[in-house]
Amino acid sequence: MDNSTDRLRILAAAILLIALNAAVAQDDPQPISLDAESSLFDRQTNRVEFRRLTISQGDMSISADEAIATGLDFEEGEWRFSGNVTFTVESARIDADSALMTFVDNELQTAELIGNPATLEDLGDPDADPVRGGASRLVYDNAAQVMRMLDGAWFASGQNEFRGCDLIYDLEKEQLTSGSSDCGEPVLITIVPRNEEDEESESSFAP
């Protein structure tokens, strides 16, 4: 009886240990891969330069013509990208002229993308209208999965369009909200009614 109870306690402890180890493993950051055409490392300044590079981690990736970082370490640091910058996360793709990314504990924290304009495209739901947008500056919060569009921002879902100085797009919820109104510009919304031809076209393709 006692031996049986002891064995049960040992088994329960082993199961708990396995569960804890699995939980820790799930919390660990995913590995980061870096592929570059060429690189240059300055030991005196701890500065690293890359050309034609792609960095990827899970469902996030960024590619650019050039990148500069203060050390080949994602524990804590800033990476600056320039030239044909393409940033993808989840189902969204952003194209920009330059970007600044911060990493902490081997995970992306924020990304600031600059362009004329920087453009966003989210094709997450094949059954829904495509989502597109853009602004002079896009700021992405990786933890919240929120993209903030600043300065000349516009956002289009199907035929409907939103314009303002500060628009916020939640990539996970696929929701758009307006941000700060400090710029003094109102949010302008253009709604294009669907005509009969569009409705007939849609119904003809319905299963």
d(CA 40, CA 82): 16
Compute the mean pLDDT over every residue in the chain, rounded to the nearest whole number: 79
Token reading at 65: 């013509």
Query: pLDDT tens digits, residue range 141-177?
Result: 999 999 999 999 999 987 889 998 899 999 888 888 8
Token pair listed for 69 = 């970082």
DSSP secondary-structure letter at 61? Answer: E
User: What is the rounded distance in angstroms from the CA atom of residue 81 to the CA atom of residue 113?
Assistant: 9
Q: pTM here?
A: 0.75
Cβ proximity of 56 and 32 under 8 Å: yes
Q: Phi and psi dihedrals of 73, rounded to 5?
A: -150, 130
DSSP label of 71: S
Per-residue pLDDT at 195: 63
* Of 93, 98, 81, 106, residue with least CA distance to 171: 93
pLDDT 10s digit of each residue in the chain, 207 long? 454 444 434 333 333 343 434 333 445 778 899 999 999 988 888 889 999 999 999 999 999 999 999 877 788 889 999 999 999 998 899 999 999 999 999 999 999 999 999 999 987 777 777 789 999 999 999 999 999 999 999 999 878 899 988 999 998 888 888 876 666 666 777 877 766 555 443 332 222
